Amino acid sequence: MTVRTLAALMLAVSVGAPGCDDGEVTTGDLDHFAGVVVAPDLAAMAGRILDFAGDPVAGIRVAACSDLECPFAETDAGGYFLHLDIPARPRRFEIFGQYDEFGSLAFRREFDPGELVNVGDVTLPRVQGPPAAWDPREAGTALIAGGRIELTVAPDKADGDGVRPKVLQYPLGTVRFDIQAGRVPGEQIPPFYNQPWVGKEADTLAFSVVPFDLFALKAVKFRVLEGVTKPEGTVYDIYDVDPLDGLLLPAGTATVDADGVLVGDKLSELRDLTFFMFVPQGD
């Protein structure tokens, strides 16, 4: 995974979370979180995980990763989780997606010593449609999210031994090379620091992908086939999530064509495919 330069100004949002050690933690309800005591040199993170219908989900492992460690907590019967007594350093909230169940999530949180941060309710994205084969070397086109979007990466030329170089980078240890995704409603987009979709929830097109941390070594061409609400010629800004730090970053633009399909512009740079979105420009 390449490290990219951050160019956008991030807007802080007032959301929080409590912390934890390297083991699993079963939590109580949010009334309990109000009484959590955080050591002055540590931090804490808490929240609740819901499914797409708004019901709590038990048994979900929620990670709070820094560059040095990645502790996890497990949600209880009420969907609540608690990370307690974690070092106060920037963290990535992570939930790995599951095939035929839910998509992947990652967003960044920062902590001050002694702080309890509550991220509130976080909705698991629903995956839609069957997985699509997408080989790391052959790539080609994958139609995902129940036919709502197609992603295309052209393979590179084979070497003298007839072996093509990889154009897709799957997570370490991957044994199945296919991709699945779901469209995420605007009101269920995770609480990123910068929130360009706010006020445009009905027209924003967001997608969450399985597997977590899928990366294209060359820019992905795409066409959003369903759900585009804006007229021909409307320009959308593209954002994707860097799973290394959980930041939502700009990745170019796309334009609605005469058929009402949203198509990536020539210089668009969609590469990180864990979670990405398209937000119409203007008011």
The 10s digit of each residue's pLDDT in 189-203 is 999 989 999 999 999
pLDDT digits (tens, 9 = 90+) for 147-186: 999 999 999 999 888 899 999 999 999 999 999 999 999 9
What is the pTM for the complete model shown? 0.87
Can the peptide bond before residue 211 be classed as cis, meaning omega within 30 degrees of 0?
yes
Query: Confidence class of residue 10 from pLDDT cuts 50, 70 and 90?
Result: very low
Summary mean pLDDT of the chain: 88
| Side chain identity at residue 156, one-letter code | D
Tell me how far apart the alpha carbons of residues 259 and 241 are, in angstroms, rounded to a whole number: 28
pLDDT digits (tens, 9 = 90+) for 12-49: 222 233 333 333 333 345 566 878 889 999 999 999 99
Question: In the numeric block, which tokens belong to residue 106?
Answer: 């990652």
Whether pLDDT at 55 is above 80: yes
Q: Give the E-state strand segments of the chain in sequence order.
A: 16-17, 42-50, 61-65, 72-74, 80-87, 91-95, 105-109, 116-123, 128-133, 140-144, 149-153, 168-169, 178-184, 205-210, 215-216, 221-224, 235-242, 247-256, 262-264, 275-280
Whether pLDDT at 132 is above 60: yes
Query: Confidence class of residue 244 from pLDDT cuts 50, 70 and 90?
Result: confident
Q: What is the per-residue pLDDT for 33?
A: 82
Q: What is the per-residue pLDDT for 31?
A: 63
Q: With pLDDT > 70 as the criterion, what percentage of the chain qualifies?
A: 89
